[in-house]
Amino acid sequence: MSQVQYISIDSERAGQRIDNFLLNFFKGVPRTHVYRVLRKGEVRVNKGRVQPTYRLKAGDEVRIPPVRMDATSVPVKVSAELTSLLQNSVLYEDDGLLVINKPSGLAVHGGSGLNCGLIEALRVIRPEQKFLELVHRLDRETSGCLMIAKKRSVLTALHEDLREKSVKKVYHAIVIGRWPKQLHKVDAPLEKNVLKSGERMVRMNTEGKASVTTFGIVKHYKELTLIEAHPHTGRTHQIRVHAQFAGHPIVGDDKYTDRKQNKELSEKYGIKRLCLHALRLSFMLPNSEQKVTVEAPYDRAFSEIISRLDASL
């Protein structure tokens, strides 16, 4: 892009943060480059500077500067392998919504030295799509159901549903030990901390935010248990920390599981990933009375772990 552009914000784009609008507009441009032009004031809204958190309003006029890739900028490139993987991971799609079976190991967005995450890759793969935004997030090592909005109105409606707790989420996890039959609910407030390294850690704290997860047993194994988890709140690392709080941390979790125990069990059963999978989502389609339930099958790695556990009985 070699010339200044002026864009008038319509009702479909209203409510979106300016940084997210620009990241979507500059498809293939690194996040650091986008934030740089914002910080330098090259992007203007109604002729004035704005912070990255500014939410656009209908009728706003946005000045888009010409963007030149400098020597340190690396454009987002998506391999043929990742393109094929994402194209084959679509679980549900309509005019306003996309549900992907997110692979374990793929971050939902770039940042912290990572140039390309799932959302950036989708924007490159689908250049014709004017709007693509994450409805919610999954940890990098978690696999399963992830919603991406293709319209601002759908994003807004689903965010409201998430706040109202009308979107139902079901996860499967493999935890250490024999999960007690009588343990159905963990109600423990959580507090998020960011370490100096930038790593996020979450701990139970009575002064933290209310957090509730209900659990059920899918199958007991000799040393492990396959459980079902229903988060009723959407806190960072909620299921992982609640499982740890219950005394049965998730296998493959290098943040919240005893390192020695985790290593021994992972080596014994050939586990090389966090054993947490977003199995199912149930929600009402925005502006519709239609209920949709989407289920994500286990990936090969998770399926092979289950097979080895079954063979151990």
Q: Looking at 19, 60, 94, 139, which residue is catalytic?
A: 139
Token pair of 171, please?
A: 């996860």
In the chain, the amino acid numbered 238 is: Q
- From CA 281, how far away is CA 145, in angstroms rounded? 7
Active site residue 10: no
Q: Tokens 């994402």, residue?
A: 86
Active site residues: 139
